[in-house]
Amino acid sequence: MPNQPLGFVGLGRMGGPMAGRLLDAGHELVVFDSNPEACAPLVARGARQAGSPREVADLAELVLTSLPTPDIVQAVAIGPEGLAEGSRIKILLDLSTTGPGTAARVAAALGEHDIQWVDAPVSGGVAGATNGTLAVMLSCPRATFEALEPIAGIFGKLFFVGEKPGLAQVVKLGNNLLAAAALAVTSEALAMGVKAGIDPRVMIDIINASSGRNSATQDKFPRSVLPGTFDFGFATGLSYKDVRLCVDESEALGVPMIVGAIVRQMLAVTNAKYGPASDFTCIAKVVEEWAGVEIRG
Ligand code: NAD
């Protein structure tokens, strides 16, 4: 789609840097976020600010979204003043984690407007969004995947999951369950070590050279828990949403998810205690409080 502006709705922790990468690559952008402050850095770099999702879709054939919850994705896509009402849009590429149910529902509704839905959830956090090192998993018709490769490739490594809407979401939910489970169980192991008198940095170094290493020991603990900053960049409310969607999907498919259900409860406690806007590394604080220790080093 040469010389066409791209649309981008949802310019938060992930969407902001991803939209910035599109500008870096020379694309024209038309942007919308319900929080005008989120648009400001992109507008300062030449992006055009629209007044609604519909206005974005009046100007761009390809619109990307990075929005917090399934309800918001649905409202932005097919609600009043939504993308489906736009005159120009042909493809909606959704980078959010929405779950397969929403993906299928929105894809069907958009189909009635001759708009192609592409689910393209991403993994790799704010650092990956900034550096273009995300894992981007797509489900859509194969030909659409091939047409989108040059643009989606700006965000990181692409994976084609299949043609059915929502398949990529299933992969993403499985991944995020594992990330949250690793965080919860690493908190337990480290709290035990600290209570026994071990320096948590020494314990993390040993685990990272051993069979227990995982994304929490390699990344989240050294970066956000040991220094006590709890600022990894992923909200507790969003992680809770992802694991809830994951357990629901598993139940719908008739697959028991016992450990997953416990991870969901750990996030429910963290969400209740520290609030949905807190960083999800606050799971460790819940375990610290129960254990009566702090995991700092
Ligand atoms: P965020 O809350 O930082 O950003 C969401 C943005 O959407 C905000 O700027 C908000 O103002 C905007 N928004 C909310 N409602 C809107 C509406 N009705 N219309 C237009 N804009 C609206 O969230 P995030 O961390 O950037 O996450 C975005 C999505 O990416 C979520 O689905 C999340 O699960 C997923 N995700 C996040 C991470 C991460 O590490 N943060 C990693 C992978 C995937």
Q: What is the pLDDT of residues 198-212, one digit of tens each?
A: 999 999 999 999 999
Q: What is the pLDDT of residue 3?
A: 63
Give pLDDT < 50 ranges for the chain: 1-2
Pick the residue whose CA is nearest to atom 29 on ligand 1.
96
**Among this protein's residues, is 157 annotated catalytic?**
no
Q: Measured in angstroms, how far is the CA atom of residue 293 from the centroid of ligand 1?
A: 33
Catalytic residue among 157, 172, 220, 273: 172
Q: CATH: 3.40.630.30, 1.10.287.70, 1.10.1040.10, 1.10.3470.10. Which one for 170-291?
A: 1.10.1040.10
Q: What is the pLDDT of residue 4?
A: 83
* Atom number in ligand 1 closest to CA 10: 7
| CATH 3.40.50.720 residue spans of the chain | 6-164
To which residue do tokens 């958009």 refer? Answer: 110
Task: Report d(CA 31, CA 53) in Å as an integer.
Answer: 8
Long-range Cβ contacts of 212-217 (<8 Å, 24+ apart): 214/182, 214/186, 215/178, 215/179, 215/182, 215/183, 216/179, 216/182, 216/183, 216/186, 216/187, 217/182, 217/186
| CATH 1.10.1040.10 residue spans of the chain | 170-291
Q: Give residue 183's identity as a one-letter amino acid code.
A: L
Give every CB contact of residue 214 below 8 A, 6+ residues apart in sequence.
Answer: 182, 186
Q: Ligand 1: residues whose CB is within 6 Å?
A: 9-15, 32-35, 38, 66-68, 72, 75-76, 96-97, 122-123, 125-126, 233-234, 238, 242
- Which of 33, 131, 224 should be mutated for ligand 1, with most atoms under 8 A from CB? 33
- The topology under which CATH files domain 6-164 is Rossmann fold (3.40.50)
Q: Measured in angstroms, how far is the CA atom of residue 294 from the centroid of ligand 1?
A: 30
